[in-house]
Every structure is written in structure tokens, then in C-alpha cells.
Structure 1
Amino acid sequence: MEHPNITNFSDTTINGNITDESIVTLRHSAAGWTILVTLKLLISVVSVLLNSAVLLIHYFIPVYVNPFSVYLLALYLANLFYILTSRPMEILDELFGLYPNAGYPVCMLYLYQKVSSIVPILFHVLISLNRVWAMTFPVSYRERHTRRLAVFICIGTVAYVHLLNLPPYLIDVLHFYPSVFGKYHDCGHLSTNSMDFPKVDEIINRILPTLIVLVCYIFIIVKRRSNRISASRCSTRTKHEDYSQQPGPLRRSVKPFVIVSVTSISLLICYLPVQVIFFLGLFFA
């Protein structure tokens, strides 16, 4: 998933004598079936199928729905929503020049991805914090963590994202981007960044959550190893052990750690490098 924020350009960034018309011609002259467009389409189709398959499995087999899996289902839904709302318009624009033909309302929907793309990142954080809670306070986790609480936390996270990010988004789409769209016939790629919000947005909504996931995952690995050492010295399980390792089939005790490993590593490998590069690009040309 590429970074949802806009790229910074001005009339003099590429060439001091470049004109607005040549920018539009340059971007749309490259439209067509390229390797990048084909790869984006393939990744989008695979992502939709995989996320939909997991959601259908949980729908037809309700026994798989537990307090912990609520966060996973929320992550799958957020991923699915992001892919279905942003990627088709992006591919159509690269193929046919969607925005000059469809108009600014479609551009507004595409720009909304800057808000919706934050939700999956925070769901990764919830998954990590959930495992930290389960391993640090297992008794409290068993007694208080229910499906209803998990659903409430997920809904609250979505509400938090929109309350924090919708005002800057509305300012952009109502007062700033209409002139950019009318000048360049482009949606979110060309901008002079009238506000300094992207820097704050990058730190609060992307870099900080990713660092939280990293710290939580390191803690989980250390705590899990400590629990295993303690268990090997005792004939019975201690109260300090991860709740996910309570008596039961081995596959049930391993599953939460495997899931948090996959979600954490995928976020760190696929998203952190892009975040760092984009953040540095906000300060250095």
C-alpha cells in the first residue's frame, strides 16, 4: 500500500519553465497498461479475495469469533474498505484519466483515503496492545475482555480517527484542492501544501502507531520467553503466564502469538520504510 498522503510538487520543481498544461499532458500521456498498473490490479484483486475469504469464514463458522478475533475482523474490514474505495479510482485514473472526466466529487472520495488509511494502522496497534494486556494481566484479561468491549473499542477507534482528521480533510477539499484540481486536473498528486498539517499527521497517525507496534512486539517476545522459562521450572502454570497459553490444545496456545507476529512484521516491513522516506521528504527536497 503506497503512502496515502500527497506528493509535493510546484511549478518549478521539475523545470523552471514548465507550464501547467505540460504537467497535465505529461501525467496523462503515460496512461495505459503498464507493469505497475498490472501489479496494482493483481495485488488489489488478491487482497480483496483474501480479506473477503477470512470474513466469510468467520461469518459461517461463528465459533471462530472471540474477543481477540474481533480486532482481526475489524482490520480485514478496514483493509477491504480502503482497497475498494481508493484502488479502483487510482487504476482508472492511470488508464483513462478519471479525474478530468469524472469531476471533483470523485476526487473528494479519493482524497478521503488519507483519513480511511489511518484506521488499519490503529487496528494493528489494538491487536498488539491486546496481546500485551493478555500476557501482563491474564486474570483481568479473562474477566473483563469480552466481545462487546472489543467491538466498542474498535468503533471508538474509527470515531477517534474521524474526529481528529476530518476537520483538516474538509478544509482541504473545500478550500484548497478545488483550485489545485481546476489548475492541474489532478487529484492529490500535485500540491503546494498550503498547510503544515502533513508533518503532524505523519507523526501522530502513522509513525507513532508503528513505533508502538514495534515496542509491543519486542515486549511480547521477551515476555513469552520469560513465561516459557518459568513454566519449565514449575509443574503448574503460574499467574504470570500469557492467557493465550492457558490449558488447551497446542494450536490454541500458539495461535495468538502467530497472529500478532504476522500483523506486526507485515506492518513493519511493508509500511515503516515508506513512512520514514515520506517523513524525511517533508523536510528535505
Structure 2
Amino acid sequence: MAYNATNQSFTGSPNGFDWTVPALTRCSMCVIQTLLNAAMIVAFIVRRELRTSFTIYLMFLFCANIIYALGGYPLEVLRQGFPNRWFLSHAACAFYIYQVWVFCPVAMHLHVLITLNRLWAISFPVSYKNIHSEKVAVLICAGTFVYVHLVCLPLVVLDLKYHHLSDERYGCMLNTAAQNVYTTVVAIVSTDVPIVVVVGAYPFLWYKHLKRKKIGTAKPSRVEVHQTVGAATGVVSAIEPPAVVPNVLKRKSAFRRIEASSARPFVVLTLLTVSVLVCWTPDQVMWTMSCFNAANDAPGLRYTTSVLFTLQAALDPILFALSLRTFRKMLSRLICCCKRGVNEQPRGVKTVISLTQRDEQ
């Protein structure tokens, strides 16, 4: 994780720039991550029907990924390439420490908001439908931004004001030794807790999703049975009046579309949870262990966990695009601008609207 990168001394060349594996990864990810996340944001801006109360969290996540890629990665590459030396200004060092210790947890907490959003939608669908909206989603994201700053920013301010070491002699890094207890608490609250929430809440969400799916699939079969019996015996069904029997097939088809679309946000959540478990957990375990044990004797393992952590922000837009077929088609039309995509645009827009309406429930 970025915390490890801040507090570890990667062995560098005394003369010239040292291209470490994490440095090379961040150079490439700075470009790839920015392009992928920017493409998703452009799609949201161009296609108004893609913006729902659920996808608002994804838009904030993509914006955070871009800001961290452009603001944090170049400075991190410079810091790792010239360990124990800092050639930029003190203001640039302060900005880098802010990116690592404050803005990076903001992106992690946006993953928490996605999980909590699905938890609310599945556990309390009535209140979710009545209360949650795009405006509420924006306010929740803004409140999370303020919360993370209240927790993490005082650590950075205290370091820069009272405990910061010389940039020219020690390089740009947070003096964790001077605030050891506070640093450990901030790291656990701002990074360990989000991972625990995202991964720990998934089994319950999976159970609730399956239970809701079973209850939903039982409804059309019951209607179909009564329709079949009434047609075979000539007896009017007490549940389905004759006036609405011709509309049963239409309602059944619409119900199936709704049930299919209800799984879309859950698929997104599943993929994001797996990526968090694979990319963030190893690095965070290494950092938590280093808080209680000063020994760091596995630089190769640190490089691996650091690379995995960097990949997460690039996987976010990819996993989201792959999990939603309708969004993938519309994004392909946006990028390719092919004639076939233009001709099928009205039907695609209609399908997206039917899917996004279900996201609100």
C-alpha cells in the first residue's frame, strides 16, 4: 500500500535514478489508470441515463482514482527513484504526504460506500427507494470526504508543523516514529476498517441477494399456474381477473427483465470485493504487521504487495464495464462511433433506462 511506500527505504542507486518494480508499475498505471477512469467518466457525462443513485458512487470513485494517479504516482516514482533525497520543494513534499495519507483513504472509503449502498438496498428496499436519490448519494460521498479528512489530516498537519524531518537529508516521508501511536490508529481506522467492512459484509449481502432472488422468482410461476388452470378449465381465476389475463405474458416478461437487472449492481459489488481482497489485503496486512514489528526483511514481498495495490484503481473501471453488458455496449459505441452502434442506439438507450430504474430499488 501507499503507506508502506512512504515508510520503507527502497534501496536505490547512489548515482542516477533507480527504477524499482513499484516505480515502473506506477509509471504505467499513471497513464492506464487515468485513461480508463476518464473513459468511464466521459460515458457518464455523455449518457445521462447511466447516472443513477448507485452509479454516483462509481463516478466519485473514478474521479478519486484519476486525482491520485496524476497527483500521487509521479511523486511516488520520484521518491522511490531517489531514496533519502528530495529535489522538489517542501510544498510538493507536503502535497505528496497528503495524497498518500489522506486522499488515498478517501478512495478506499468510496468502496465502503458501494458496499453500504447495496446493504441498504437489499436489507431495507422500501426506505432505500423512498429516501435514496442522486442528491443523497452526492451528500453521502461529500460527508465521507469530510470524515476521512477529520481523521487523517491532523496527523499530516502535526507532522509538517512539529515532527517533519529534513527533506534534503531524509527524503520526503512522514515521521511515523514521532507519532507512532497516532499513526497506527489512523492507519487502522482509515485503511484496515474499510477492507474489513467490504469483505466482511459480502457474505451477508450474498445471502440476502439469494433469498430475494428466490422470493422474486416464485411470483411469476404462481401467476402462470393460475393462468394455465383457468385456460384449461374455463374457470375464472380469483387471483388474476379475466381483464388482466391477456397482460400476464407482458408482465411476466417485464418481471424477468427486472429480476435480471437487479443482479447487475450485485455483480459489480462481487467483482469489486474480490479485487479489494486480492489487491489491497496483502499490502494492508504487511503494513499492519510493520506497525507492531519494525523488522522488514522481505523487500520482494513488499514489491509484490505494492504492485497489487496499484492495480486496484485500474481494475475498478474495467470490472464495472465488464459486469454490465448494457454499459459495455454503450461504451463501445461511444469509443468506436461505428455505424451499427448508431443505428441500434435507441434500443440500447431504452434497455439502459429499464436497467437503471431497477438500480433505484
Question: What's the TM-score once normalised by structure 1's chain length?
Answer: 0.82
Equivalent residues of 1:8, 1:193 under 8 A apart: no
Return the letter of the residue paired with 2:189: I
> How many percent of aligned residue pairs carry the same amino acid?
30
Partner of 1:222: 207
Matches of 1:251 and 1:226, distance apart in 2:
15
Return the letter of the residue paired with 2:195: T
Return the letter of the residue paired with 1:122: H
Q: CA deviation at 1:30?
A: 6.1
Equivalent residues of 2:12, 2:81 under 8 A apart: no
Q: CA deviation at 1:42?
A: 1.3
Partner of 2:266: 257
Return the letter of the residue paired with 2:270: S
Q: CA deviation at 1:234?
A: 3.7
Partner of 2:177: 193
Deviation per CA, 1:138-169: give whole Å up to 9, x if none. Answer: 11111111100000000111011112221121
Residue 87 of structure 2: which of 85, 89, 101 is its match? 101
Equivalent residues of 1:31, 1:95 under 8 A apart: yes
> Larger Rg: 1 or 2?
2
| Residue 71 (structure 2) pairs with residue 82 (structure 1) | no
| Residue 277 (structure 2) pairs with residue 277 (structure 1) | no
Return the letter of the residue paired with 2:42: L
Matches of 2:114 and 2:143, distance apart in 1:
15
Matches of 2:207 and 2:12, distance apart in 1:
52
Matches of 2:35 and 2:50, distance apart in 1:
19
Partner of 1:13: none
SS of 2:292's equivalent in the other structure is coil
Alignment of 1:1-285 (within 5 A): 2-3=2-3, 6-7=6-7, 28-29=14-15, 31-33=17-19, 35-95=21-81, 100-113=86-99, 114-177=101-164, 179-184=165-170, 186-188=171-173, 191=175, 193-195=177-179, 196-235=181-220, 248=257, 252-285=261-294
Compared with structure 1, are the counterparts of its residues 26 and 272 closer, same or farther at alpha carbon in structure 2 (3 Å cutoff)? closer
Q: CA deviation at 1:98?
A: 11
Q: CA deviation at 1:122?
A: 0.7
Matches of 1:122 and 1:28, distance apart in 2:
38
Matches of 1:30 and 1:182, distance apart in 2:
16
Return the letter of the residue paired with 2:177: N
Equivalent residues of 1:5, 1:198 under 8 A apart: no
Equivalent residues of 1:89, 1:98 under 8 A apart: no
Q: How many residues align?
A: 261
Deviation per CA, 1:108-146: give whole Å up to 9, x if none. Answer: 111012110110111101100100111111111111111
Q: CA deviation at 1:38?
A: 2.7
When structure 1 is superposed on structure 2, of 266-275 and 84-93 the one drifting more is 84-93
Equivalent residues of 1:71, 1:126 under 8 A apart: yes
Matches of 1:98 and 1:59, distance apart in 2:
43
| Structure 2 residues not aligned, in runs of 5+ | 223-253, 295-361
| Structure 1 residues not aligned, in runs of 5+ | 10-22, 238-244
Matches of 2:217 and 2:255, distance apart in 1:
14
Return the letter of the residue paired with 1:194: A
Matches of 2:154 and 2:176, distance apart in 1:
19
Compared with structure 1, are the counterparts of its residues 97 and 182 closer, same or farther at alpha carbon in structure 2 (3 Å cutoff)? closer
Equivalent residues of 1:32, 1:95 under 8 A apart: yes
Q: CA deviation at 1:199?
A: 1.0
Question: What's the TM-score once normalised by structure 2's chain length?
Answer: 0.66
Matches of 1:118 and 1:192, distance apart in 2:
17
Q: CA deviation at 1:96?
A: 6.5
When structure 1 is superposed on structure 2, of 152-161 and 85-94 the one drifting more is 85-94
Return the letter of the residue paired with 1:276: V
Q: CA deviation at 1:80?
A: 1.1
Compared with structure 1, are the counterparts of its residues 130 and 26 closer, same or farther at alpha carbon in structure 2 (3 Å cutoff)? closer
